[in-house]
Amino acid sequence: MQNSWSLPMQSKNYEIIIGLEVHAQLATRSKMFCRCAVDVDAKPNTKVCPICLGLPGVLPQTNDQAIKLGIRAALALGCSVNLESRWARKHYFSPDLPKGYQITQYEHPLAEKGVLELPGFDKKVRIRRLHLEEDAGKLIHSTRKTLVDFNRCGVPLAEIVSEPDIRSVEEADAYLKELRLVLRTLGVSEAEMERGHFRCEPNISVRPRGQKKLGVRSEIKNLNSFKAVREGIARAVKDQIEWLQQGKEIVQTTYLWDEKLRELRPMRAKETAADYRYFPEPDLPPLILEPFEIEEIKKQIMGTTVPSNQGTTVSFDVSFVLPAQKRKEWLEKGLKKQDVEVLVAEPEWERYFIQLSNVGASVKEASTWLLNEARGILAERKETLAEFKVPVKELASLIKLLRDGKLTRPAAKELLAAMADKGRNAAELMEELDLGGVSDEGLLEKTARKVIEENPDACGRYHKGKTNVIGFLLGQCMAKLRGKADPKAVREMLMKLLSETR
């Protein structure tokens, strides 16, 4: 099947160039320059004050937490953080921008020159800059009128701008997913796309293969889903190739993505910096940082996740370890790629996994019983880990019962399903459901003798050298024991008795 963003054949003659701008909402409680709560879902226009409404005679004040989160993100992306950065006003007219300008950073951003490695692509995308700014409000359009909600005015954002290093729709997708994961993992942003916490503006150009000079770019405004990004970029590439083939000149343009028609609607010819009449923000002093402040934040993101050999320690607050570092550590511990991605991308699974390791499960046991079995059960029931009725301690007991030979694997699976249903203690429920393994030598021997008696032919063949008959006899024993014995012990018992009856 073709992806909705797959490109036509003739695109092979062109090189696709993409640079991405991302606006990530910083996970602060209050706004960037005032004390209003960040709560965009509140009743419209209830989280506002004279500062974020842009009334005259008030002064903005920077939010320290937003700055810290910005630095954390910048360091995670390998950027150098500037000891001095500056605020600027970016002017444009919009009904959702009551001040008539946005406070942002322009010539002196918070951080510059970073890099993001795309997992699975063996590729690094350079980050041009990361700066802080404030969001605008929201327009709500209905058929007869347009309403405006200012709750979002002044909400802190980090804008992260890549170099034009991305070469395909797939790479763009991977870049965004990894960036989002970094921000979420470090608690910098909730980065929920559907809630507008993570918005992407792709810049796209194409050039004939071999040409050095970059083509003229199209920019697509504020895309809110991975799908829209993929489809929007593919559309821009197709359009541009077509224009070039028709000998048309491409004019730098800003577009809106029409999700329904799957078309790009020109919004305006690209504005230049001059259109924004940037100038230094007179109401805010430069943002000055001390080296130790940056060092402190740097130390936070240098932790390691993986429990040590004995599974007894977690050396650092796991929420601050970078995804790339986690991947490396879990892979070294022998986890499969697919399991590693679960741990890296889903913090609640990671937390459970680590706790399980800390109470004695090996990485192998934890991946089998948590990431395969329990995850399978929950997926089937369309439930989340939060709804899982088995506490860490009880899953650990189940694993130990299995390890000690008190449960067979099939019985352990059955027990886990029952525990997930009833939320009961492993050992008790094992007794109650009579799932415990038969480790009683006497019963094993009695059963094996019975099976030998009942199958003289098979035993005869065994004695004549058809040793694989043992599999059949074993099956008979296991059936009588309802699968609850350790097959290895039963096989040994059978061999012993058969050699005696020879």
Q: Which is nearer to Zn ion, 37 or 324 (CB)?
A: 37
The least distance separating ligand ADP from the CB of residue 280, rounded to whole angstroms, comes to 18
Burial 239-276 (b: 16+ CB within 10 A, else e): bbbeebeeeeeeeebbbbbeeeeeebeeeeebeeeeeb
Which range in 16-24, 278-286, 345-353, 472-480 contacts Mg ion by CB under 5 A? 16-24
Range 482-488 contact pairs with CB under 8 angstroms and sequence separation of 24 or more: 483/408, 483/410, 483/411, 484/408, 484/411, 484/435, 484/436, 484/437, 484/438, 485/408, 485/437, 485/438, 485/439, 485/444, 486/405, 486/408, 486/437, 486/439, 487/408
Q: Which is nearer to ligand ADP, 272 or 338 (CB)?
A: 272
The least distance separating Mg ion from the CB of residue 201, rounded to whole angstroms, comes to 6
Residue 231: contacted member of Zn ion, ligand ADP, Mg ion, none (CB under 5 to 8 Å, by partner type): none
Which range in 61-69, 197-205, 325-333, 444-452 contacts ligand ADP by CB under 6 A? 197-205
Which range in 98-106, 214-222, 322-330, 453-461 contacts ligand ADP by CB under 6 A? 214-222
The least distance separating ligand ADP from the CB of residue 219, rounded to whole angstroms, comes to 6
Q: Which is nearer to ligand ADP, 242 or 296 (CB)?
A: 242
Residue 137: contacted member of Mg ion, ligand ADP, Zn ion, none (CB under 5 to 8 Å, by partner type): none
Q: Which is nearer to ligand ADP, 85 or 205 (CB)?
A: 205
d(CA 301, CA 318): 9
Rule CB under 6 A: which of 443-462 touch ligand ADP? none
Q: Which is nearer to Mg ion, 68 or 128 (CB)?
A: 128
Which range in 162-170, 357-365, 387-395, 472-480 contacts ligand ADP by CB under 6 A? 162-170
Residue 214: contacted member of ligand ADP, Mg ion, Zn ion, none (CB under 5 to 8 Å, by partner type): ligand ADP
Contact between 205 and ligand ADP by CB under 6 A: the answer reads yes
Range 178-183 contact pairs with CB under 8 angstroms and sequence separation of 24 or more: 178/116, 178/117, 178/118, 178/119, 178/323, 179/22, 179/77, 179/116, 181/323, 181/344, 181/345, 182/73, 182/76, 182/77, 182/116, 182/322, 182/323, 183/24, 183/73, 183/76
Which range in 19-27, 127-135, 138-146, 385-393 contacts Mg ion by CB under 5 A? 19-27
**Site for ligand ADP (CB under 6 A): which residue of 5, 7, 14, 17?**
17
Helices (H) and strands (E) in the chain, counts: 16, 16
The least distance separating ligand ADP from the CB of residue 206, rounded to whole angstroms, comes to 9
The least distance separating ligand ADP from the CB of residue 254, rounded to whole angstroms, comes to 8
Contact between 161 and ligand ADP by CB under 6 A: the answer reads yes
Q: Which is nearer to Zn ion, 149 or 173 (CB)?
A: 149
Q: Which amino acid is at 88?
A: A
The least distance separating Zn ion from the CB of residue 108, rounded to whole angstroms, comes to 25
Rule CB under 6 A: which of 254-293 touch ligand ADP? none
Contact between 214 and ligand ADP by CB under 6 A: the answer reads yes
d(CA 353, CA 362): 10
Which candidate, 321, 360, 366, places its Cα nearest to that of 344?
321
Q: Which is nearer to Mg ion, 21 or 329 (CB)?
A: 21
Q: Which is nearer to ligand ADP, 199 or 217 (CB)?
A: 217
**Site for ligand ADP (CB under 6 A): which residue of 184, 217, 406, 480?**
217
Which candidate, 52, 118, 114, 126, places its Cα nearest to that of 82?
114
Which candidate, 222, 218, 220, places its Cα nearest to that of 253?
218
Where are the alpha helices (H) located in 346-455, listed in sequence order? Answer: 347-358, 363-366, 375-380, 392-403, 409-422, 426-432, 441-454
Residue 52: contacted member of ligand ADP, Zn ion, Mg ion, none (CB under 5 to 8 Å, by partner type): Zn ion
**DSSP characters for 242-290?**
HHHHTTPPPPPEEEEEETTTTEEEEEEEPPPGGGGT-EE-TTS--EE--
Give CA 253 to chain center in angstroms: 32
Which range in 201-209, 221-229, 376-384, 396-404 contacts ligand ADP by CB under 6 A? 201-209
Angle between helices 441-454 and 487-500 (to 10 degrees): 60
φ and ψ at 493, to 5 degrees? -60, -45
For residue 166, what is the DSSP state?
A: B
d(CA 182, CA 321): 9
Pairing state between β 111-118 and 101-104: unpaired
Total residue count of the chain as it appears in this document:
502
Q: Which is nearer to Zn ion, 53 or 458 (CB)?
A: 53
Q: Which is nearer to Mg ion, 222 or 499 (CB)?
A: 222
d(CA 152, CA 236): 30
Residues that bind Zn ion (CB under 5 A): 34, 36, 49, 51-52
Measured at CB, which residue is nearest to ligand ADP?
19
**Site for ligand ADP (CB under 6 A): which residue of 7, 14, 21, 371?**
21
The least distance separating Mg ion from the CB of residue 126, rounded to whole angstroms, comes to 16
The least distance separating ligand ADP from the CB of residue 7, rounded to whole angstroms, comes to 16
Contact between 162 and ligand ADP by CB under 6 A: the answer reads yes
Contact between 164 and ligand ADP by CB under 6 A: the answer reads yes
Q: Is 31 helix (H, G, I), strand (E, B) or coil?
A: coil
Measured at CB, which residue is nearest to Mg ion?
21
Residues that bind ligand ADP (CB under 6 A): 17-21, 161-164, 203-205, 214-215, 217, 219
Binding site for Mg ion (CB under 5 A): 21
